[in-house]
Amino acid sequence: MKNYEVIGLMSGTSLDGLDIAYCTFNFDQSWKFEIVHAVTIEYPDEWVERLESLLKADDKTLAQTNIEYGRYLGKLTKSFIKANNLKPDFISSHGHTIFHQPEKGFTLQIGDGQAISDVVKLPVVYDFRTLDVQLGGQGAPLVPVGDRLLFPDYDFCLNLGGIANISFEKDDQRIAFDICPCNQALNYLSRFLGQEYDNDGLMARQGKVDHNLLEKLNALSYYSQYPPKSLGREWVENSFLPILKETSISEFDLLATCTEHFAYQISRVAINRGKMLISGGGALNKYLVDRIKSLSKVDICIPDDTLINYKEALIFAFLGVLRWRNEINCLSSVTGASRDSSSGVIIK
């Protein structure tokens, strides 16, 4: 096959909802793609609470929720297919990350592939991270192979999601890693001001940067580590947020300081001139983008809203295509694994 019609499912750490993207891929010397239909379905409060609570859940609750969440994904996908009269070849699902501790040899993205398949009556590719972790890798980030093959015209691909991550070519290898927290922390602070997120960064603009706090954040040991490296929800909750809670400054000042911190960490990575594609919800945060522009030398490219919002769902659909073709979709140069791999479990 050279033509594929695939639905990609993506749920990020910021818990803002499920991204569903119906994508077409065509291979003729190089890969071409189109996002034909896409939607974000916000999680109801019940699912937000369930997913947030799983970090401390017992094994039985985890196992049960894994199946029930898979059925939930299946129902949402089935409705999406029917509403748009689609005929996808298969579903490619990232799942929702509950645990990610590759240094301890495990990672868990719930949303059972068999449960999804039972509902939609289609093949499903899922569980993209486990094999790489078993091979000694970080299991993240996985998007860089998509950056390399689908977006070769950009020197840097920056995703501003719950976590900010970047990928780029260096010495004929793809290098990628998680840089710092992003929307997960900004959304957390915004909720104290009665908002789900900081629209355009307007609340951060009202605050003042606290340089003592900024210094503490920049001193976190993660930033001095060399890649491959990755961040999980646990690190943000256990290492990052407690520093914010120790301060007595206003939420506006906290937002301003965190935004400055993220922009600074990103500028430390994107130090060379070139074109940088920014995607993810943070690309819509005009203040954050302005601060990145002011601190770095790169030519920033903001794509259309569809690509901003659905690039990760697109690439997970593409990772499913590569897995379907038994081609490499996980790069050891990115994750630190013992070898490249074609990762993901296929349910037919």
Residue-wise pLDDT tens digits, 154-195: 999 999 988 999 999 999 999 999 999 999 999 999 999 999
Q: Is the confidence at residue 323, as pLDDT, over 80? A: yes
Asked if domains 3-140+310-347 and 144-306 share a fold, the reply is yes
CB neighbourhood size of 170 (10 A): 9
Q: Is the confidence at residue 89, as pLDDT, over 90? A: yes
Closest Cα partner for 103 from 219, 223, 234, 14?
Answer: 234
Lowest mean pLDDT among 11-20, 51-60, 259-268: 11-20
Does residue 329 contact residue 303 with C-beta atoms inside 8 Å? Answer: no
CATH number assigned to the domain covering 3-140+310-347:
3.30.420.40
Which pLDDT score, from 0 to 100, does residue 55 have?
85
pTM metric for this prediction: 0.89
Q: Which has the higher per-residue pLDDT, 227 or 22?
A: 22
Rounded to the nearest angstrom, the gap between the alpha carbon of residue 163 and the centroid of all alpha carbons in its chain is 7
Strand ordering across the sheet containing 3-11: 30-41, 18-28, 3-11, 90-93, 124-126, 345-347
Which pLDDT score, from 0 to 100, does residue 31 have?
97
Q: What percent of the chain has pLDDT over 90?
A: 89
- Domain covering 144-306 assigned CATH 3.30.365.10 in the classification: no
Which pLDDT score, from 0 to 100, does residue 140 have?
86
pLDDT in tens, 104-139: 999 999 999 999 999 999 999 999 999 999 999 999
Which pLDDT score, from 0 to 100, does residue 241 have?
97
Phi, psi (5° rounding) for residue 178? -75, 130
Phi, psi (5° rounding) for residue 346? -105, 125
Which pLDDT score, from 0 to 100, does residue 32 have?
97
User: Would you tell me the crossing angle of helices 251-269 and 211-218 to the nearest 10 degrees?
Assistant: 40
CB neighbourhood size of 171 (10 A): 6
Burial of 24 by CB count in 10 Å (0-12 exposed, 13-18 middle, 19+ buried)?
Answer: middle
Query: So where are the chain's domains?
Result: 3-140+310-347, 144-306
Mean pLDDT of 335-342: 96
